[in-house]
Amino acid sequence: MAEPDPSHTPLAGGAPLVLCILAGGIIGAFMGQAFLGAVIGLAVGTAIAVLIWMRDRGNDRD
């Protein structure tokens, strides 16, 4: 099995995911729809995390 490249540190998308969920819940609470805001935040955060993952995965091939 090939050893991972020690010079490449993988990026993490967990922080943007959590921040989007929290921000969505807070914004939604101000609008009277906290759950809907959290779900929208989850969708946006997931999209950002996937984009980070795809970008980082593309850098592995250098």
| Containing structural domain, residue 45 | 32-62
In a domain, 10, yes or no: no
Count Cβ atoms below 10 Å from residue 61 Cβ, excluding itself. Answer: 5
Kindly state whether residue 12 falls inside one of the protein's structural domains: no
Examine residue 9 and state whether it is found in any structural domain, yes or no: no
Q: What is the pLDDT of residues 2-50, one digit of tens each?
A: 666 666 677 788 899 999 999 999 999 999 999 999 999 999 999 999 9
pTM exceeds 0.75, yes or no: yes
Closest CA to 13 of 62, 61, 58, 47: 47
Q: Is residue 6 part of a domain?
A: no
Alpha-carbon radius of gyration of the chain: 16
